[in-house]
Amino acid sequence: MLVANRGEIACRVFRTCAELGIRTVAVHSDADANALHARVADTAVRLPGAAPAETYLRGDLIVKAALASGADAVHPGYGFLSENADFARAVVDAGLVWIGPPPEAIEAMASKIRAKRLMGLAPLDAAEVTEAGLPVLVKAAAGGGGRGMRIVRRLRELPAALESARAEAASAFGDGEVFVEPYIEHGRHVEVQILADTHGTVWPLGTRDCSLQRRHQKVIEEAPAPGLGAGLVEELRALAVRAARAVSYVGAGTVEFLVADGRAHFLEMNTRLQVEHPVTEAVFGLDLVAEQIRVAEGHALRNDPPPARGHAIEARLYAEDPAHGWAPQTGTLHRLAVPPGVRLDTGYTDGDTIGVHYDAMLAKVVAHAPTRAEALRRLAGALESAAIHGPATNRDLLVRSLRHEEFTAARMDTGFYDRHLTELSRPAPDPLAPLAAALADAHGRSRFGGWRNVPAQPQVKRYTMAGEEHEVRYRHTRQGPTADGVRVVHADAHLVVLEADGVRRKFTVSRHGDQVFVNATTLTALPRFPDPTAQVAPGSLLAPMPGTVVRVAEGLSQGAAVQAGQPLVWLEAMKMQHQISAPVTGTLSALHATPGQQVEPGTLLAVVQETSS
């Protein structure tokens, strides 16, 4: 079987194939030549290039790869071409088995516009939207994952939202069609997993709640959706089966709804496996990929699905900085390990590089337990104690979200992060972490580098932690290192035990270059003397992430007058577009960004000189 995808989902499908004795074929871009999914497959075929449009979105190349490798089946995973009817037809026309629904079903439901009409609904006409009809949501007709979506609260922002959503959708899915629908402010995102065979049986496999989202992309999902009345659950299941039967659906799929004021509002049907499918697998004791394969082989489902047991919660671990606009992060993932008792689905292993070309998700961590409270506690504890060494991640945000009173009481909705992001992303680092890092660092160096001839001479080290600079002072004595107010019980290069206020605490320390990882806290070691060349001019616009300049505002040139908040430059990183705006009203005194330019974090894009008052 060839998997027409990459990363975590490719590895997950390969795992089931190995259990079933099915040999596997991976496809990989040049950027993914050493990616985990390319390494674990039995065969790997190169797709020349790096951008999705020239690699994973090239159905013709993928079909060629399947034929050349001797594969006889293709699994699309999710994203990329998974909901592309033309690709499904090309696979079937090539004599290969398509592990998915019929192309006609994909065609009917893959466009959210056609899906709504099939369910008796219709999108808004963008030209007829008025201030009274706001807010509205601009949404990509194809694909998913929150790409190509924009909330519009002011009518004057609608044209720009349509343009940027089209560009992002075209880049992610190869289809720039978008539409407009009313935006429901305080709804819950609830979905029903379905599984259908070729013999007319459709299983509605319970509900999932996916309300915790950033940029309309799900972050935490759970099954079953908590707090729904039995009548509403039955209505959701019936609507999901109706949608599946309307298009003679076959295989695994998901029907999505917004639930508000006890009413279900149909959103779309995803004709593929969802990222969050593991929570349904855990609750029903199923392997949905294995079931997809069985259905494709013509096997019939039983009349009824297995009974649901317990509760499962999944958290998506991203390489991103929630406190700074969810900016994606890149670099080396030195270590990724979670405690036993939870499920880890990932496309990375220790030492892999997180690049700029694809989604920023590192892994999915899933906990299953008899009750929701137990599953929450288990998942939060596992994330908190996980070893994640490398670029910044959303791990701390996930832990705080899972323990937030609104979430534990199941009172969340899709506006959860709009209300709580500041408090949840506010750094709460361990104040003793810098001292532990300094002591471990000193022990790991030679006597001539880390130890002084004069024992009483204070040692000074500087770190940044959660965006703030911390200076650490300690002394070496004949009895060992000491610091004010803290007793050093033990210190070596990897383990430090400190006692403060009668409480003894253990710190595990790992260092990779300038980055120091102390328990769940990440620090960056600073040079003893700051580099004066690192200063930037006031008004400098620096790239917040690595990526590609995809657009510069039309007509923008050096010397132009700009207004505070005016969009100037657009970057694309990890399949998302990010807008860089003028910080103040003034004059554009320098413009260095050009379309197509590859930039690293801190690259100077432009300088805006503030107008003097």
> What integer pLDDT is reported at residue 444 of this predicted model?
65
- In the listed set 99, 126, 146, which residue is the last one of a domain according to the structure? 99
In this prediction, residue 599 carries a pLDDT of: 86
What is the CATH classification number for the domain harbouring 194?
3.30.470.20
Question: What is the extent of the structural domain holding 154?
Answer: 112-182
- pLDDT at position 458, please? 78
Question: What is the CATH classification number for the domain harbouring 157?
Answer: 3.30.1490.20
CA atoms of 386 and 364, how far apart (whole Å): 13
573 within domain boundaries:
yes
In a domain, 106, yes or no: no
Q: Are 331 and 354 in contact (CB under 8 A)?
A: yes
Q: Over pLDDT 70: what percentage of the chain? A: 95
Domains identified in the chain, total number: 5
Q: Are residues 142 and 223 in the same domain?
A: no
Binning pLDDT at 50, 70 and 90, where does residue 144 land? low
User: Alpha helices, DSSP H only, in 328-446?
Assistant: 372-385, 395-403, 405-408, 416-425, 433-444
pLDDT digits (tens, 9 = 90+) for 223-278: 999 999 999 999 999 999 999 999 999 999 999 999 998 999 888 899 999 999 99
Question: Is residue 107, in this structure, part of any structural domain at all?
Answer: no
Note whether 45 and 151 are same-domain residues: no
Q: Give, in order, the Cα–Cα distances in Å from 133 to each of 183, 184, 266.
A: 9, 12, 19
Residue with the bigger pLDDT between 419 and 536: it is: 419
If asked whether residues 311 and 211 sit together in one domain, one would say yes
Last residue of some domain: 159, 182, 205?
A: 182
In this structure, what token pair is assigned to residue 523?
């620090």
Q: Would you place residue 366 in the very low, low, confident or very high pLDDT band (cuts 50, 70, 90)?
A: very high
Boundary (domain end) residue, out of 496, 526, 556 = 526
In the three-class reduction of DSSP (H, G, I as helix; E, B as strand; rest coil), residue 509 is classed as strand
Query: Has residue 453 got a pLDDT over 80?
Result: no
Query: Same domain for 82 and 195?
Result: no
Whether 105 is in a domain gets the answer no
In the numeric block, the tokens 């890092």 are attached to: 437
CA–CA separation, 391 vs 328, rounded Å?
9
pLDDT digits (tens, 9 = 90+) for 146-165: 778 888 988 988 988 888 88
* Same domain, residue pair 226 and 264: yes
Helices (H), 124-276: 158-173, 230-246
Residue 216 and residue 64: Cα distance in Å, rounded?
A: 35
Pair 248, 196: CB distance under 8 Å: no
Angle at 554 between CA 553 and CA 559, to 5 degrees: 75
Mean pLDDT across the chain, nearest whole number? Answer: 90
**413 shares its domain with 554:** no
Using CA atoms, how far apart are residues 130 and 61, in angstroms rounded to an integer? 45
The average pLDDT across 424-444 equals: 86
Per-residue pLDDT band for 447 (boundaries 50, 70, 90) equals very low
pLDDT tens digit sequence for 371-400: 999 999 999 999 999 999 999 999 999 999
Q: Are residues 437 and 421 in the same domain?
A: no
Which one from 58, 214, 272, 462 is the annotated catalytic residue? 272
* 309 lies in the same domain as 394: yes
Same structural domain, 92 and 150? no
My answer on whether 83 and 62 are in the same domain is yes
pLDDT of res. 446: 43
* pLDDT at residue 322 is higher than 60: yes
| C-alpha 472: how far from chain center | 35
- In this prediction, residues 217-228 reach a mean pLDDT of 97
Query: How many angstroms separate the CA atoms of 593 and 549, rounded?
Result: 7
CATH number, position 12: 3.40.50.20
577: domain CATH number?
A: 2.40.50.100
| Mean pLDDT of the 4-8 span | 97
Global pTM reads: 0.83
Give yes or no: 272 in active site.
yes
What integer pLDDT is reported at residue 125 of this predicted model? Answer: 76
